[in-house]
């Protein structure tokens, strides 16, 4: 990152009652801006390491509101953008260009501002419906290497990507999963599956604000919410979400 201060953050294991504690690490951050800055620095560092080692950086973007600031910060990052490949953790089944699409947010916050070849931006064709879109994304993912970096957010109910508590999609083993009857609009979505998320070299989960505190507390007490199924993840939690 250009002029980005180094972040030295104490790493603390989450106190949980089951094996989730063995594969999650928390980076406490002061506020939402510090979470965004930490994530942006981590992406830049991971990109440099991956491109140095393998010539390419495969990065999964999160949707929602929390990651937007991270993407804005990365516009000025010293990243070899032509060697970056973009993937999406989930997408909403809405028309192309709809204001609620995750890829539109990513375009406006970052992708329109950096020189990534369009062919390397792997969009979910969710406008074709959950089944077709999931099938096509699964085919793309089957030919892809392990992701170098995954960014995820967390909903107040403990969902991540479009994997919601109690939804049958949680048990789907495909690389990309059709999601129906989501409790948040729109009800039809497509989500990257746990098989891909858990194979990533690095995964950051961003949780910001008081609204996330209850879910984090439930996870600390051993509740296996959807976001807790993501293995070997690092959590970026601000003071309000940490409770």
User: Looking at residue 174, which CATH number applies to its domain?
Assistant: 3.40.50.1360
Cα gap 154→150, rounded to integer Å:
13
- Does some domain include residue 106? yes
- Does some domain include residue 70? yes
Residue 221 predicted with pLDDT over 60: yes
- Does some domain include residue 119? yes
Position 21 confidence tier, pLDDT thresholds 50, 70, 90: low
- Does some domain include residue 12? no
Position 20 confidence tier, pLDDT thresholds 50, 70, 90: low
DSSP string, the chain: -TTPPP-----EE---SSGGGGGEEEEEESSHHHHHHHHHHHHHHHHHHHHHHHS-EEEEEP-SSTTHHHHHHHTT----GGGEEEEESEEES--TT-TT-HHHHHHHHTGGGS---GGGB----GGG-HHHHHHHHHHHHHTS---SEEEEE--TTS-BTTB-TT-GGGG--SSEEEE-S-SSSSS-EEEE-HHHHTT-S-EEEEE-SGGGHHHHHHHHTT---GGGGSTTEEEEEEHHHH-
What confidence tens digit (pLDDT) does each residue in 31-41 have? 999 999 999 99
Of 79, 15, 10, the closest CA to residue 41 belongs to: 79
- Does some domain include residue 22? no
Domain that holds residue 90: 34-214+217-221
- Does some domain include residue 66? yes
| Overall number of domains in the chain | 1
**What does the pLDDT average to over 32-56?**
97
pLDDT score at 220: 85
- Does some domain include residue 228? no
- Does some domain include residue 91? yes
Cα gap 117→121, rounded to integer Å:
7
Residue 76 predicted with pLDDT over 70: yes
């Amino acid at each position: 990152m250009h002029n980005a201060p180094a972040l030295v953050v104490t790493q603390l294991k989450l106190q949980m009652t089951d094996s989730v504690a063995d594969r999650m690490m928390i980076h406490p951050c002061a506020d939402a801006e510090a979470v965004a800055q930490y994530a942006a620095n981590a992406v830049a560092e991971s990109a440099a390491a991956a491109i140095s080692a393998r010539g390419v950086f495969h990065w999964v973007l999160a949707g929602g509101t929390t990651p937007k600031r991270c993407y804005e910060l990365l516009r000025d990052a010293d990243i070899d953008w032509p060697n970056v490949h973009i993937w999406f953790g989930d997408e909403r089944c809405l028309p192309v260009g709809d204001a609620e699409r995750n890829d539109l947010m990513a375009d406006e916050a970052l992708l329109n501002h950096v020189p990534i070849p369009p062919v390397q931006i792997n969009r979910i064709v969710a406008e074709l419906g959950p089944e077709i879109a999931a099938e096509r994304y699964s085919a793309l993912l089957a030919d892809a290497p392990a992701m170098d970096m995954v960014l995820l957010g967390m909903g107040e109910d403990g969902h991540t990507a479009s994997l919601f508590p109690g939804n049958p999609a949680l048990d789907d083993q495909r690389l990309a999963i059709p999601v129906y009857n989501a409790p948040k609009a729109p009800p039809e979505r497509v989500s990257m599956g746990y098989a891909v998320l858990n194979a990533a070299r690095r995964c950051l989960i961003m949780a910001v604000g008081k609204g996330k505190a209850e879910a984090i507390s439930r996870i600390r007490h051993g509740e296996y919410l959807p976001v807790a199924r993501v293995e070997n993840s690092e959590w970026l939690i601000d003071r309000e979400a940490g409770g």
